[in-house]
């Protein structure tokens, strides 16, 4: 040890973002399946190459190289009686190969808990609940990732707060609200019906927080109030009603004051 220098963080200044308890990537559990799928794809391409580069076997027939070259160029075989010809190709079972690739593809998505969005099961106008059930395995994984990532972010904020405290600008890192949003398809019509049905039962702030394209609920509420106020000011009927109400209220107030004086 030559020299030590304090870093003033008050703790080890390293924030760890774990993917899971095992600290493994999502793909690591299906590496063998991915390798097997790659081998099947490679073999399929090789079989096609072998078919294109197949050898022509001539039985009971002899020819000079020049004659064979001419037959190849003209795409015509001049053969004697009792001779035959055929291509020497590898007999590959395409059905078995394709079934194996389909099975490997499904197993990769199954064990990785990652749904195949190109699958026909995701086609059509599926409801939000149906999509959630189809992506349940992925949702469970994402929940774990959120907890792990949130812990890493909180540790990072705590480290920053330690240094900010020494500089006289401390803040409570526990007051920071970390929000995660799913990047999954949502059924906006069902969401709109749900928000509309809960109007008057749940606060407007909570309802706006359920809308995915509303990023800042407070700013949205202020914007909505501003637009309603402008609409009210531009509506002559509302202005007249408001004016009549104000006049009537003032008149009642004056009558009460006169009564109290009497």
Q: Tell me: the pLDDT tens digits for 18-59?
A: 988 888 888 888 999 999 999 988 888 777 776 666 777 778
- What percentage of residues in the chain have a pLDDT greater than 70? 80
The tokens for 57 are 């076997």
pLDDT in tens, 197-241: 888 888 888 888 877 777 778 888 888 888 877 777 776 655 555
Q: What share of the chain is helix, strand, coil (3-state, %, to 5)?
A: 60, 5, 35
Residue scoring higher pLDDT (2 or 257): 2
Half-sphere exposure of 225 (CA within 13 A, CB side): 8
Report helix, strand or coil for 211: coil
Q: Decide: pTM greater than 0.75.
A: no
Largest CA distance in the chain: 139
Residue 64's region, left for phi above 0, alpha for psi from -120 to 50, else beta, is: beta
- What percentage of residues in the chain have a pLDDT greater than 90? 10
Residue scoring higher pLDDT (106 or 115): 106
Residue scoring higher pLDDT (255 or 204): 204
**57, containing H or E segment:** strand 55-59
Residue scoring higher pLDDT (182 or 203): 203
**193, containing H or E segment:** helix 188-197
What confidence score (pLDDT) does residue 148 get? 92
Rounded CA-CA distance 9/150 in Å is: 20
Domain layout of the chain by residue ranges:
13-54+89-177
């Amino acid at each position: 040890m030559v020299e030590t220098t304090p870093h003033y963080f008050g703790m080890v200044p390293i924030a760890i973002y774990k993917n899971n308890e095992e600290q493994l990537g999502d793909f690591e559990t299906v590496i063998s399946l991915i390798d097997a799928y790659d081998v099947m794809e490679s073999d399929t391409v090789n079989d096609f190459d072998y078919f294109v580069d197949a050898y022509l076997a001539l039985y009971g027939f002899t020819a000079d190289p020049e004659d064979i070259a001419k037959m190849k160029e003209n795409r015509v075989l001049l053969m004697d009686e009792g001779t035959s010809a055929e291509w020497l190709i590898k007999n590959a079972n395409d059905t078995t190969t394709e079934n194996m690739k389909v099975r490997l593809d499904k197993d990769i998505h199954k064990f990785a808990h990652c749904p195949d969005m190109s699958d026909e099961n995701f086609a059509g106008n599926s409801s939000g609940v149906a999509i959630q059930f189809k992506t349940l395995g992925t949702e469970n994984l994402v929940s774990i990732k959120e907890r792990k990532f949130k812990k890493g972010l909180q540790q990072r904020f705590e480290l920053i707060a330690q240094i900010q405290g020494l500089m006289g600008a401390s803040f409570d890192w526990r007051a920071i609200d970390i929000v995660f949003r799913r990047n999954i398809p949502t059924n906006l019509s069902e969401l709109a019906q749900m928000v509309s049905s809960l109007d008057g039962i749940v606060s407007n702030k909570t309802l706006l927080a359920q809308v995915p394209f509303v990023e800042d609920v407070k700013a949205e509420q202020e914007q909505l109030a501003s637009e309603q106020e402008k609409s009210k000011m531009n509506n002559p009927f509302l202005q007249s009603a408001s004016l009549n109400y104000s006049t009537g209220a003032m008149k009642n107030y004056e009558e009460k004051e006169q009564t109290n004086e009497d």
